[in-house]
Chains A and B, each alone.
Chain A
Amino acid sequence: MATSLKKKMFRVRDFFSNPANIILTVTVLVLGFFTLYPLILLLIDTITVNISDLLYPELMGKRVGSFTSFHWKRMLFSDVSSTYFWVPLKNALLMSTLASVIAIIYGGTVAFLITRTDIKAKKFVSSVFIFPYIMPSWTIATFWKNFFQNPDIGNYQSGMLYYLTKIKVPESFVYGLVPCAIVLGLHYAPFAYILIGGILRNMDANLEEAATILKATRARIIKKITLPIVLPALLSTFLLVFSSSMSAYAVPQFLGGTSGFTVLTTTLRQFINSGWYGQGYIMAIFMIVFGLAILGINQYVTSSRRSFTTVTGKSGQISYIKLGVWSNILAVIIVLLCLFFSFMPLVSFALESCTVVPGDFSKLTLKFWIDPGYPLNNGIHGLFYEPQVWASFKNSLVLSISCAFFAGTFGILIGYAVAKRRGSRLAKTADNLAFLPYLMPSMALGAAFLAIGMKTGLSKTMTLLILVGSIKYLPFASRSGINAMLQLSGEIEEAAVIVNVSWWKRMLRIIFPIQKSTFISGYLLPFTSCMRELSLFTLLSSGSIYLMTTLLEYWQVWCDQSANALNLLIVVTVLAVNLLINKLTGASIDKGVGG
């Protein structure tokens, strides 16, 4: 007995002597609580009677908190299930799939052109391509609508295109499924650009050159070599974009059009507004289930591959495909697209913030920026004089930097551990748990953490906001970390292990510098997302901490011009941080891909 106990202790000690195992164990325990607990709360709400449910004749007289199957039956099998669930589900699936395809094609193509060809204007494209992600998605939706709107559709106003060219596009191009998918695809195309480009940048050209020597065609090389190597990034991108699009509320709500295009999130919001959490959270459960299904497919594909290593201990080189005359033509096309989707929205915000009458550009004013008094009657000073702006600015920066630090650091550690123990049950569990919060709709996650906050005394504190933000955006960092680590061959670290270099030194001196560009993006993505996140923080910060996005939501009701000015400030802040990091470290989101 003593011997077997000693053996067990020895096995445990041996297990925890591997840093990867320590990281994975801590990850499973901590994330297990913070992801499963909210999920359990959601599930419980779908099978219990809530106060507002007592309005239903079927539940009248029941005790609040008692179990019921009413919500599931009503959502899935009743005569209203088509209106509330099946049609919104169909719309959400179509919208998310289309958005994912658009993001991968657009972002992946640009990433390939930047990293593997001699196309011109690489620096410019690398810098501005990420702008649509930095902007809140609804602002791109606003720009889309303002640009393509014409007097025959929607609100019957003249958009920019009609104003300049008298061209009228059909209503289905401005409102409904297609524009929602396009706007979301454009918004998330930088995901594809960063993730796929990060892989392509580090890919050794010897792999392709060997195939060229053997007279393989370019198409065959892309199909048989390039695509399989970037497959993890493609699947990660699809996973992130699909999940994000399924959870998107602002874009379908804004571009729903005259009839109100419904998806799961708009219906979820409607039920939550009415206090019918049980029915609303059933939508949330399905969003999570679809996300998990894609996650499972992702894992099946990547685990069946022996290796995705592209960075080894041997020397590598990059050679570019020569495009010839197409180098300039394609550069012009991509630059124009980038200018249109990256700069035009910023110009639009700036102009809108200077209009006396919203939408009327014939009379402009700077008072919404610099007037220390009260413009109109909305009670808001000019932006630079408004105390709420600077208080919320400080709060947002503190929150975003903290979330980026925690999410980014844990993401790298999780990426390292998952890659090192790839294929083990512990690694798979940690990987899945790290991703689960991202699949949960922000408003549902916010409500769950509100409950955690009340029970732990963290309610309405910055600590709780940092906690929920770090967990919500950990998937970005962990995906980035995993992809980066999967590329690294074991021999890079082996030399250092043989000479007894400590784990910390190996991480800081070898692994991090090699994959610096991808790791840095793991910090910047949570920062960017936190700066423009609303649904997650709105319930947790109400009545206590003003963030720039919660202030923006409040101002949108009262003053379009001030709201546009604030929106511009949010975007400019994130761009400025990106520039600062670029100057200090030489790395940035765009530097991850050969700019």
Chain B
Amino acid sequence: MKKLSMLLLIAVLLACSVFANGAGEQVSNAVADKIVKGQSLSEAELIALAKEESGDFIAYGNSSRIASAVTNFVKKYGAQIGLSESNASGSKMGDSQIFTTLLQESTGSTSKAASMVLIQDGAQLQLYRKNTTIMSNYVPASIKGKVAEGDLVPLVHQYINKLFIWNNLGDNVPAVKNVWELTEPAMKGRIFFKNPASEMVNMNFLIMCTSPEWAARLADAYRSYYGKEIALGAYKNAGFKWIAEFIANCNFSISSDTTICQTMAKADSAGNIGLFVLSKTRDLDASIKGNLSVGAFQASSVEPFAGFMYPLYAQIATSGPRPYTAMLFINYLMTEEGFKPWGGPSTTTMGAYSSSSDIGASEGDQPITFWRNCLVAENADYIMANKSSVVDFINAAIAKK
């Protein structure tokens, strides 16, 4: 009897978990219709429609600056659309936390669900866009002609770069001009890079190095550095060879880009180099800021790439209660004022670049066109097609260290 009761309990729980389903499908269709309509609306029309909405406005983002962006948005539009600090918030969340949360929100109540997301993993985003309706793309009418075609679907809000930056003190400055220098035995343990196993954008960068385009450029760089053709051996292409040898020399003892930046700038780090987010240099004390040199800013840059860049995508979350407010927010983020938490022409914060040509780079930085020429950029389709195999290769290389 007791065993039967236990089996019955498990069966009921299994049934609940397997067959339970919310009304997410109908909700997201209604939101999709609003988005189609919203793409031709002006700001004033969006404000009028957002004013009629109720519920909390919640935005999730991989970038912590989303909180500041929401605060600024509320200051500007709050009175007009019924938003204040108490019913609007922006939260930073981890790589797949956003997807997990959005999936769960699509099955339940919508009053506290997110209405907008700012997300960085393009490959996962593509997968979820193809297989679910939890997110929808919105292109504001105001940015037509200002954002490149390739950045419209899904809409790219900004690019962030990670660059080769080294300590310029002492006699052994690693002023690299070619990425193959980083595979030399002398560089072992001197390259500080956040472990790609714990940082998805770092993993995506390494995956992109195996793409035909970058593998070819790495082969050319090899020839340029060593004066001979690359011998691949068991490697599929130059990208795989470079990744394996680069990882062998990497130092994973520091687990945050902020700490890598702070450590690289100290005098004790003479002879070391890091691959980390450029924007972290803004927080350095003036006394040590000059100890760092950015490879991309040197006269000869770094062949064939000085680092990599990855996009942050803006999407409407279809389970949220305020889709028009979300559209207005995205509209706002694509302006210079809305981009301010990350950078822009009136700031000194380097390292983030709006996809809109109306918003230039910050003081002392280079425009996005400069970075497109010298950095490895993510290609979501390539990553999707090759992620499973290349990730195994990279993890095996890390395990061999």
A contact set with B: CB distance below 8 Å: 32-33, 36-37, 40-41, 44, 51-52, 54-57, 64, 80, 82-84, 87, 151, 154-158, 175, 253-254, 256-260, 262, 266-267, 269-270, 272-275, 356-360, 376-379, 425, 447, 450-451, 453-455, 457, 459-460, 538-539, 542-544, 554, 556-560
Contacts and interface: CB of A to CB of B under 8 A. Distances in A.
Contact of B14 (A40, A259, A425, A453): A40
A434 B258 CA distance: 41
B153 interface: no
Contacts of B388: 55-57
A455 B20 contact: yes
Contacts of A558: 64, 258, 283
Given A455-B108, A560-B258, A376 B398 contact: no
Given A258-B251, A377-B283, A451-B104, A151 B268 contact: yes
B100 A554 contact: no
B398 A260 contact: yes
A359 to B, nearest CB: 7
A80 B392 contact: yes
A425 B1 CA distance: 13
Interface in B364-401: 384, 387-388, 391-392, 395-396, 398-399, 401
Given A55-B384, A56-B388, A560-B258, A40 B10 contact: yes
Nearest to A175: B253
A273 B262 contact: no
A460 B287 CA distance: 44
B252 A54 contact: no
A542 B91 contact: yes
B197 A270 contact: yes
B285 A55 contact: no
Contacts of A376: 283
B258 A454 contact: no
A377 B280 CA distance: 10
A64 B131 contact: yes
Given A51-B127, A157-B268, A357-B266, A377 B282 contact: yes
Contacts of B89: 543-544
B255 A557 contact: no
Interface string B38-65: 0000000000000000000010100010
Interface residues of B, number: 77
Given A32-B9, A560-B258, A260 B101 contact: no
A52 B127 contact: yes
A262 B20 contact: no
B101 A52 contact: no
A82 B392 CA distance: 11
Contact of B109 (A41, A275, A457): A457
Given A64-B131, A269-B198, 5 more contacts: A40-B10, A83-B395, A259-B401, A260-B252, A274-B124
Nearest to A540: B101
13 contacts: A40-B17, A51-B131, A55-B387, A80-B392, A157-B263, A254-B255, A262-B399, A269-B198, A455-B108, A543-B101, A556-B256, A557-B256, A559-B258
Given A55-B127, A55-B388, A542-B97, A154 B253 contact: yes
Contacts of B131: 51, 54, 64
Contact of B100 (A55, A80, A258, A539): A539
A-B pairs, 7 with minimum CB distance: A454-B108, A259-B401, A543-B91, A154-B253, A454-B104, A275-B96, A260-B252
Contacts of B18: 44
A100 B282 CA distance: 43
B232 interface: no
B200 A273 contact: yes
B268 A158 contact: yes
A331 to B, nearest CB: 37
B64 A450 contact: no
Nearest to B398: A260
Interface string B151-192: 000000000000000000000000000000000000001001
Nearest to A553: B92
Interface string B273-310: 00000000011110110000000000000000000000
Contact of B288 (A253, A270, A357, A557): A357
B245 interface: no
Contact of A258 (B253, B262, B269, B285): B253
Interface string B69-95: 000000000000000000001011111
A260 B268 contact: no
A258 B97 CA distance: 27
Chain B CB within 10 A, most for which of A154, A260, A425, A559: A260
Given A40-B10, A80-B392, A378-B283, A156 B268 contact: yes
Contact of A83 (B2, B123, B396): B396
A358 B282 CA distance: 14
A358 B262 contact: yes
A154 B96 CA distance: 30
Contacts of B17: 37, 40-41, 44, 451
A37 B392 CA distance: 32
A206 B263 CA distance: 60
Contacts of A543: 58, 60, 89, 91, 93, 101, 112, 114
Contacts of A55: 123, 127, 384, 387-388
B36 interface: no
B259 interface: yes
A87 B198 contact: no
A51 B189 contact: no
B214 interface: no
Contacts of B262: 357-359, 560
B263 A155 contact: yes
A454 B107 contact: yes
B224 interface: no
A544 B255 CA distance: 27
A538 B96 CA distance: 12
Contacts of B64: 554, 557-558
B272 A542 contact: no
A157 B266 contact: yes
B109 A539 contact: no
A544 B58 CA distance: 9
Contacts of B198: 253, 266, 269-270, 273
B43 to A, nearest CB: 26
A447 B96 contact: no
Given A37-B13, A87-B399, A157-B263, A272 B96 contact: yes
B346 interface: no
Contacts of A266: 197-198
Contacts of A253: 198, 255
Nearest to B203: A274
A36 B9 contact: yes
Nearest to B270: A156
A447 B22 CA distance: 18
Contacts of B195: 256, 260
A539 B97 contact: yes
Contacts of A40: 10, 13-14, 17
A269 B18 CA distance: 25
A51 B92 contact: no
B1 to A, nearest CB: 12
Among B99, B255, B387, the one with the most A-chain Cβ atoms within 10 Å of its Cβ is B255
Contact of A275 (B91, B99, B398): B99
Interface in B183-224: 189, 192, 195, 197-198, 200
B285 A357 contact: yes
B21 to A, nearest CB: 10
Nearest to A261: B252
Contact of A80 (B22, B287, B395): B395
Nearest to A460: B112
B9 A273 contact: no
Contact of B269 (A84, A156, A270): A156
A81 to B, nearest CB: 11
Contacts of A151: 268
